[in-house]
Structure formats: structure tokens, C-alpha cells
Amino acid sequence: MSASPLRSLLHRFFPFLAVLGSVTALGIGTSWAKHWLFPVVGAQGTTAVRVGFSALLVLLLWRPWRWHLSRADARAVMLYGAALGGMNLMFYMSLRTLPFGLAVAIEFAGPLAVAIWSSRRAVDFVWVALAIAGLGMLLPLGLNGSTLDPVGVFYALGAAVFWGLYIVFGKRAGHLHAGHSVSLGLLVAALVVVPVGVVHAGAALLSPAVLLIGVAVAAVSSAIPISLEMMALKRLPKEAFGIMISMEPAVAALVAMALLGEHLSAVQWLAIGCIMAASMGSAMTAARPAAADRTAPQAA
């Protein structure tokens, strides 16, 4: 029997598997970062270590200087990298005063806004509604009725804005080789956030323990997820990618339960079910994109 049908099936669903792998690795790496790095170098230092080492690892892996980069492509990569750096910094700043699950939920306003703005089919709004319902039920996670810190909410909303921009600019750079755009984008992101971390944490960033944990966190929570996401963005329309990423709170909850001992209520598991349903629905309706959706957008 020919292997071509299986190969075709794997090729068709690879973008969705890539997103699932991305959010799983991100949840693991973020849990490590919050547990081990926050007490030593703070949110700013954690962002610097994570993004800085991620850039170094991916640059060494892909060696982007081997490819020619046009002026238009360089502009697209710079915008993508700046959005990536801002997203990471804002998100980790929000984690100082907000619970992890809630910070992720608020940050999801970004990709959901992209999905709604760019949607062309009525069925996409069904998946958006399911995702919003699930995220809404997750909002009380760990709060016990306490009032949210407005500064933390501000940072989470800032992360949402940068996440939306990251999706848009990532799609614009999606016609480039994935390793090329990811490595250069991370370099730009590092140039944005590393100086902030150095100013805040100083010499603590050079601690052997911080450096060792930082390399592990960078590989698991940035380098691997971003590479997988860029591969997915090359084959998925923006709205499908935005909704597929809604798996992240569900996967993060499972990872947190395993690594951090966090246990969810029945209502919170119901919320996870809504999010997973939205993700599966998005995958099914985006599995046959229109020809126009497969065309890489023009660089800005």
C-alpha cells in the first residue's frame, strides 16, 4: 500500500500538531521560569534570560546569515521581533501580581481579536464564542474573589496587544524560511528586552544557576514553541492560528497540575472543554483553506 495518503494526511494536519507541541512546551518552560527564576532575577531578568538564550540557541542552529534578506523582509522581521519582545516582557511583568491562568486568559484578547477581525466565515464565530466562554469561566482561577491588581491587568492587556501584532507580523514574514525569520526575530526581541533585564537584575543574571536554568527555559519555552508556531503560520490563516492557540490555557492547566500541584474545579475543567472544542472546531474548518489563504502575504 502506498504511503502517499498517510504522508498527505500528516502534511495536512502538521500545522495543528505544531501548535499543540508549541503550547505544551511553552507551559512547561513558563512553569520552570516562574518557579526558579522569578525569585532570583525578577520578571525583567527572567524575560532577558529566556529571550536572550533563545536567540542565541536559534541563531546557532539556523545561521541566518547564510540567506539574503531584502529590505522589505528585514522590515517585516524587525516588526515581528519587536512584537515578540514586547509580548514576552509584558506577560512576565503581569505574572508578578496575577495568577498564571488569569494572565494567560487576559492575554488571549490579542489572538481572539485577530481571529474576529480577519474572519471570513460565519462558522469561525462559533469557535470564537466557545473560546470566549471557556476563557470566561477560567477567569476566577486561584483568585478566591479577590480584586485583580490593576497594574498586572494593564501588563496582561499590553501582552495581548503585542501577541496580536506578533501574529500579524509573523504571517507577513511567513514566506521566509522558518529558521531564518525565527532566528532574526528572536535577535530583535533580545535587543528589546535584554537591556531591561540587565538594568533590573544586574550581576544576578551571571549566576551559574541562573544561566543553567535559563538555557533550559529558553529551549523549552521560547526556541521550540516559536519555531513550531512559525511553521504553523506558513500554512494556517491568521484566524485559524489565533483560535488554535486557545489550547494554551487548557494545556497550561494540565502542565501546572503535574508540575506545580495546581488542581482545578469542575467548572474550570468545563472551561477547558469549551476551549478544546473551539480548538478542534477551528482545526476542522481550517483543514481546507481557500487558495488565497495559502498565499503568503506581501511583506510590509
Residues of the chain with pLDDT under 50: 1, 144-146, 287-300
209 contacts: CB under 8 Å, gap ≥ 6:
40
Q: How many domains does the chain have?
A: 1
Give me the sign of the Cα torsion angle 22, 137, 281, 166. Answer: negative
The answer to whether residues 118 and 162 touch, using CB atoms and an 8 Å cutoff, is no
Assess if residue 2 is contained within a domain: no
Assess if residue 86 is contained within a domain: yes
Assess if residue 5 is contained within a domain: no
Q: pLDDT digits over 179-228, tens only?
A: 778 889 999 999 999 999 999 999 999 999 999 999 999 989 877 887 78
pLDDT for 142: 54
Assess if residue 58 is contained within a domain: yes
| Class of residue 244 by CB neighbours under 10 A (exposed 0-12, middle 13-18, buried 19+) | buried
pLDDT for 78: 94
Assess if residue 292 is contained within a domain: no
The answer to whether residues 166 and 87 touch, using CB atoms and an 8 Å cutoff, is yes
Q: Domain range for residue 19?
A: 13-287
Assess if residue 283 is contained within a domain: yes
Number of neighbours of residue 111 by Cβ within 10 angstroms: 24
Assess if residue 48 is contained within a domain: yes
pLDDT for 28: 93
Please tell me whether the overall predicted TM-score, pTM, comes out greater than 0.85 for this model.
Answer: no
Assess if residue 68 is contained within a domain: yes
